[in-house]
Structure 1
Amino acid sequence: MPETPSITSSEIGALWMTYQQKTMVLRMLEYFIEKADDQKAKEIMKELYEEIDPYTEKIVHIFKIEGVPVPVGFTSNDVNVEVPKLYDNGFDIMMIRMIKEISMAMHTLHITVSYRDDIVMMMKELTMITQKYYHRCTTYLLEKGLMPRSPYVSIDKEVEFVKDQNYLSGLNPFSEKRPLTTVELANIYHAIESNVVGMKMILGFAQCAEKKEVSKFFNKGGELAKSIVKEMGDVMLQNNIHVPNTAGGNITDSKLAPFSDKIMMYCVSLFCGFSMGGNSVGTAFSLRNDLPAKLSIFMKDIFEYAHEGAKIMIKNGWMEEPPQTLKHK
């Protein structure tokens, strides 16, 4: 057996996806660092940049040794740091926090499909970096008053077990629904929080996109995110639970794009995948049957929206293909 085994198919896929995502993050960080007017926010982003940048080179090194084509990813052509600020009031850290949340899920998944020690170790290191900066971003936003916490609620003081199948009911509009559990509330609030950030991000993209069809696509996504926030907020209000307002993050009046249409489309695609995954978790852990019904509709709408985006990316030559297996005759 060789000292370092050859790279497997799943490891190639994991590294390829990591390279795409990391080059996107680096380009966005370059812009946000240049435009940051808060010193603490700038320090967080600069230190994150310095920690993840070497990993793109490590992936390139592995691919070259293994004879795998090095992906294009996202380059200096996909960012323009000279244009005015597109977002303000802490949105840069809100955006990076969301991306780090996606990264945590991706790196954990990639550990499960990796076998070589060096690749497993890379994913572990990236997981630790991601967790550290997710926490730093969260702490920053809370300290600055730019992000509310999830609602505080009163709970029963005794442990109870479900005694009746009515516990699962919720679809009948004429019957009384049981109160939300804290597990269900956590998933609902997370959907609201992530879609608020996503809505601001995508409407900013719509404002500066170069191509009209891309701008129209982004505006449609903003409306979709808005509808999810409204419907999930209504569920909370029906349970007499106040929906906290997000104080931070706003779109400026700039119409000059800091990012290429290509990188913005990829970013939205990434957020769609994350949203479908989050809704899947919410569906699995929500036992009041009106909630999975709502979340399933959201997943269908998000899937169709993401599919529309994929067609636009293919049409414009922006969708890079992952390495494919050869067809043997």
Structure 2
Amino acid sequence: MDNNRLSSTEISALWTTYMNDCASVCFLKHFMNVLQDAEIRPIVQDALNIGESHIQTIRSLFQQEQFPLPKAFSDEDLHLSAPPLFTDLYALGHVYGMSRIGLISYGSMYSTLARKDVLDFYAKALQQSAELYQNAVNLMQSKGVYDRPPKIPYPESVAFVEKASYMSGWLGEQRPLNALELTEIFFNIERNYFGLLLLTGFLQVTQDEHIKKYLMKGKHLAEKQIKTFNTLLLNEDLLGTVPVAMEVTASTTSPFSDKLMLFTVNVLQSTAISTLGHSIAVCTRKDLSAQLAKFMAEVLAYGDDGLSLMIEREWLEQPPQAPNRRKLMQV
């Protein structure tokens, strides 16, 4: 047996990255085709260059391994003649959001790998995402469109929890939200606002009524989470987080295929599950943990609806899987 063959975790990482980057490149090509802002264009171009380099590296590696290349997405899923669906500021926000997702997913993938060439690829991908994220944050701040998380006073001294009521949140006096919980609330609002804008754009351009109904359900779910988390902040006498608008245009001409739009929503839904799971793990106030768990159940159900739609249309590309030994043994 060749011990240098790709392991299942390495196949999983490379296959997922290839699919996601092929989809991302379509969005970035659309942005580059319509962008007017001279400060935003270079950072979107950097993101596009990184995505295309990832695709080329993985394609070469798969060919070397005689591994079938995923169909994924290509210019067939992109209509470059379409007018802008999003504003220039949204394109910047898109790079910011996707680089954050890259930092999380590449870090997680890196911790499962062993083969040197694959490790080297993800080490570089992590560095690229970090630089892209930093550049996006810096530009957003200079343009006044980066929404800062809530600020709290520095503690005067070290303190330890003295009562089990620290975890309560149902009845009686509630403790204030701690810094870990405020972080989770802020980024859950930001994530949902990003998804809300994306879904709004998709709703304007899809003509498929079944897909439109699915996207509308996602839009309502994102709005519900934003409202709930903002109410939590307001109840703590903290300012609610209202991100600076990075609007959708009035275009009703789609730059993207329905297949690409559904795939993108599915990727964001998967990210939401991971984010909510992390939030539940670090939040100790029971009312907040319960609300997060409720949202996770709703997002899981929403994701099932999306997968069903993709399967019905034969758009869901199957990840590589282990052989069915029982079938092979005919037992």
Please report the TM-score for the alignment, with normalisation by the length of structure 1.
0.96
2:208 matches 1:223: no
Map 1:112-123 → 2, pairs under 5 A: 112-123=111-122
CA deviations on 1:86-145 (whole Å, 9 max, x unpaired) are 111500111121111111122112112221100010011111101111111111111111
Pick aligned residue for 1:238 from 232, 235, 239 = 235
Q: CA deviation at 1:326?
A: 2.4
SS of the residue 1:167 aligns to: helix
- More displaced stretch, 41-50 vs 120-129: 41-50
- Deviation of the 1:155 alpha carbon: 4.1
Q: CA deviation at 1:153?
A: 2.2
CA-based RMSD of the aligned residues comes to 1.4
Would you say 1:280 and 2:277 are equivalent positions? Answer: yes
- Counterpart for residue 19 of structure 2: 20
| Aligned mates of 2:247, 2:130 — CA distance in 1 | 25
Count of aligned pairs between the two proteins: 326
Q: Is the 8 A contact 1:51 1:129 kept in 2?
A: yes
How many Å separate the matches in 1 of 2:63 and 2:309?
31
Q: Are the aligned partners of 2:85 and 2:248 in contact in 1 as well (CA < 8 Å)?
A: yes
Q: Do the aligned partners of 2:189 and 2:241 also contact (CA within 8 Å) in 1?
A: no
| Aligned with residue 307 of structure 1, among 304, 309, 330 | 304
Q: In 1, are the aligned partners of 2:230 and 2:241 still within 8 Å (CA)?
A: no
Cα deviations by residue, 1:140-175 (Å, 9 ceiling, x for unpaired): 111111221112222431211101111110022xx1
2:43 counterpart of 1:61: no
Contact residue 210 and residue 257 of structure 1 kept, 8 A: no
> 2 CA distance for matches of 1:74 and 1:210?
20
Give the fraction of aligned pairs with identical amino acids, expressed as a percent: 25
Partner of 1:95: 94
Q: How does 1:66-85 map to 2 (within 5 A)?
A: 66-85=65-84
Q: Distance in 2 between matches of 1:241 and 1:155?
A: 16
Equivalent residue for 1:168? 167
Partner of 1:249: 246
Q: Which amino acid aligns with 1:91?
A: Y
* CA deviations over 1:4-47 (Å, ceiling 9, x no partner): 81111221111100100111111110001111111111111112
Question: Residue 39 of structure 2 aligns to a residue in which SS?
Answer: helix
Tell me how far apart the structure 2 counterparts of residues 114 and 148 of structure 1 sit (CA, whole Å). Answer: 35
Per the alignment, residue 46 of structure 1 pairs with 45
Contact residue 89 and residue 248 of structure 1 kept, 8 A:
no
Q: Amino acid of the residue matched to residue 231 of structure 2?
A: D
Q: Distance in 1 between matches of 2:315 and 2:207?
A: 14
Separation in structure 1 between the aligned mates of residue 195 and residue 148 of structure 2, nearest angstrom: 18
Instruction: Return the alpha-carbon distance in structure 1 between the equivalents of residues 6 and 168 of structure 2.
Output: 49
User: For residue 188 of structure 1, what is the aligned residue in structure 2?
Assistant: 185
CA distance in 1, matches of 2:14, 2:133: 21
The runs of at least 4 consecutive aligned structure 1 residues that moved more than 3 Å come to none
| TM-score, L = length of structure 2 | 0.95
| Cα offset, 1:308, TM superposition | 0.3
CA contact (8 A) 2:37 2:88 kept: no
Q: Which residue of 1 aligns with 2:126?
A: 127
Structure 2 distance, partners of 1:70, 1:134, is 29
